[in-house]
Structure 1
Amino acid sequence: MLVTLKVDGGVLAVKDAPDEKQVNGQDTSELTITSTSLTQLNNLLSRVTYTSTIYRIRTSDLVHFTFENNKALFHIIIRRPTVPVLYNTGNDINSLVTIATKTFLRYKQLHVLLNSIRRVYPKIKIIIADDSLEPENVSGDNIEQYIMPPAQGWFAGRNLAVSQVTTKYFLWVDDDFEFLSETRIESFVEIMEAFPELDVVNIDIVSYALGGVVSGDQFYYTLEYVEGDEGGCLKRIKGRHHNPLPGHDGCFFVDIVVNFFLARTDAVRRVGFDPSLKRVAHTEFFIDGLGQLLVVTCKDLSIGHQTHEEQTQYDSYRNQGKDEEERKLAHHFFKNYLKCLKY
């Protein structure tokens, strides 16, 4: 019985072969193994090693396997080991989580947010990225305000804020949110700690007007991407993936969630936020994270959303004009090599 193994980017060998005469081509790209016993042949195959001869940190090689009249192909995955990133998680929520936000011309709303956080979490660290036209000083215990050049935009501010996080997790909040007495970050952390493969956990947003609850709707989408020879097609679909998080019937796997989520700091840094997107940008982060971030959305947890107030100067930046929308789409299509996009 004869087996032939052939590879392109490495060499093969049989480790500790009992009889070297049964093996031909040790430490070459083509190896043949002969034996009169199937049991012995399988034993020799179990000793086959592969060594890459081309330095790569992330690649694969194709193995051509031949046995009598049978042929097969299989891949060898080559990965350079990565160094673990560990965080000193301490003994309480303050050493596990940092709250991060971005503000622009909305100091009134920002102070409502900060006061609401301090009512529930008096010591947790808060990071503020601020690109207001005329910055105002925001101070307080364990609050860090980073002043940016004026109107640098939404994603540039996110990058700055997240770059300063030193805890294992960060909680992202918009500057017009408001913590409620039932807003418990610990609920996020319990889920993330129980499922280390998760990268982002999101909960309900409860909107307020005239002191009453308006809605508690969940905002979540999945993404459908189909590659093509002349660009891919991307579709955003309202809904979730079919299976819930094990043991948590109220948590479902999705691809896009609203701007209130707990995330693993190192996972989000690997994806980053495209600073070319200055004004209206949200889905784009999750598109960049498709296949890299595992996201869930959960019910029965909540945060308040402050009543919207008309602000002429803020709205003039916030509301996209036709030119800005077309520029963003053109950037999107080029960057992600798309030929069609459907929201």
Structure 2
Amino acid sequence: MAVNVSEKVTAIIKTFERPHCLDMLIKSIKKFYPTLHIIVADDSKSPIPRSDVEYHILPFDSGLSKGRNFLLQQVKTPYFLLLDDDFCFINETSIEKLMDVLENSDIDVVGGRCIETKGVRNSQAVFTIKNELLTLNADPYGKEGDVELYDIVANFFLARTDKLQKHTWDERLKVGEHYDFFLSYKGKLKVAMHPFIYIYHTNDRSNEEYNLYRNRDTEDLHNNIYQEKHGITKVKRKQRRQSIDDIMEYLSKETIETYFGS
């Protein structure tokens, strides 16, 4: 790892009721970036503190948005890496390449792509709102160097700390915050995706306590907050999920053997 990555980047992880996922993620980070500073915020009912990271216990069910805002205030480095707790670093998770984008452009947020057993999840999109219909278009609105320009990327991104400390998450949204965050800052944050930076997403739903609280993003309480805020009554997604076969040539033998069994 280049020395300046650990000097300039902090990884932040909001976790809830999935200590086994968190453990897997932290071990994967330390495998590839052993000196990277990691800050965890845990609002589980019975948190299990760790001594190998900077660990903060928040009040039970504080929520994703409040947890991320708290984490962001703890960051002292110029950049931070946002991570969900059910990610795993792989050979293709290059912080250096993401940092290179920020250091050589006016881009504020640069995301990577999530690969799963079912394929590549394409979370990146361009927003349009017309007649109260939010449409997420799969194609970028532009390109700069190696990256493509979008309005929204996955919750796996590197960003400028000072810029996002001024553009925070809406703490009314304990879950279901993703669209709202990027809708709120469309035109205020310059967002890009690097098409060849990947992280593995386990999408672990094995904990029933986690599922109970996570599934609130389908309830009217949370949908109405961001829909009323942005004048939306319907959402149409034009995102594409790719087959893993489409990107096999970009994955290492280790990644393929570990996660895809061949």
- TM-score (norm. length: structure 1): 0.64
Aligned partners of 1:128, 1:321: CA distance in 2, in Å? 22
8 Å CA contact 1:153–1:275 kept in 2: the answer is yes
Q: Which runs of 4+ in 1 moved over 3 A?
A: 333-336
Q: Does 1:102 pair with 2:6?
A: no
8 Å CA contact 1:203–1:218 kept in 2: the answer is no
Q: Does 1:253 pair with 2:165?
A: no
Using a 3 Å threshold, how does the CA distance of structure 1 residues 199 and 234 change in structure 2: closer, same or farther? farther
What is residue 69 of structure 2 aligned with on the other side?
A: 159
Aligned partners of 1:233, 1:287: CA distance in 2, in Å? 14
Choose which of 115, 127, 132 in structure 2 pairs with 1:223.
127
Deviation per CA, 1:281-311, whole angstroms, max 9, x where unpaired?
Answer: 2111101111111101121121112262421
Amino acid at match of 1:112: M
Deviation per CA, 1:52-93, whole angstroms, max 9, x where unpaired?
Answer: xxxxxxxxxxxxxxxxxxxxxxxxxxxxxxxxxxxxxx9611
- How far 1:216 sits from its partner (Å)? 2.7
What is residue 128 of structure 1 aligned with on the other side?
A: 40
Q: Which has the higher helix share?
A: 2
Deviation per CA, 1:168-205, whole angstroms, max 9, x where unpaired?
Answer: 1100111010011231100101111110x101101121
- How far 1:128 sits from its partner (Å)? 0.6
Q: Does 1:149 pair with 2:59?
A: yes
Gaps of 5+ in 2: 237-262
Using a 3 Å threshold, how does the CA distance of structure 1 residues 334 and 237 change in structure 2: closer, same or farther? closer
Amino acid at match of 1:328: H
CA RMSD of aligned residues (A): 2.0
What is residue 168 of structure 1 aligned with on the other side?
A: 78
Structure with the greater alpha carbon radius of gyration: 1
Aligned partners of 1:321, 1:242: CA distance in 2, in Å? 28
User: SS where residue 197 of structure 2 aligns?
Assistant: coil
User: SS where residue 99 of structure 1 aligns?
Assistant: strand
- TM-score (norm. length: structure 2): 0.83
Aligned partners of 1:341, 1:216: CA distance in 2, in Å? 25
Q: Does 1:305 pair with 2:174?
A: no
Gaps of 5+ in 1: 1-89, 209-213, 227-231
Q: Percent identity?
A: 32
Q: Which has the higher strand share?
A: 1
Aligned partners of 2:25, 2:222: CA distance in 1, in Å? 30
Aligned partners of 1:339, 1:157: CA distance in 2, in Å? 26
Q: Does 1:240 pair with 2:139?
A: yes
Aligned partners of 1:190, 1:342: CA distance in 2, in Å? 34
What is residue 97 of structure 2 aligned with on the other side?
A: 187
Aligned partners of 2:175, 2:57: CA distance in 1, in Å? 18
- What are the equivalent positions in structure 2 for 1:1-343 lying under 5 Å apart? 92-140=4-52, 143-195=53-105, 197-208=106-117, 214-225=118-129, 233=132, 235-245=134-144, 247-248=145-146, 251-306=147-202, 308-320=204-216, 325-336=219-230, 338=231, 340-343=233-236
How many residues are aligned here? 235
- How far 1:331 sits from its partner (Å)? 2.1
User: SS where residue 275 of structure 1 aligns?
Assistant: coil
8 Å CA contact 2:88–2:202 kept in 1: the answer is yes
Using a 3 Å threshold, how does the CA distance of structure 1 residues 221 and 339 change in structure 2: closer, same or farther? closer
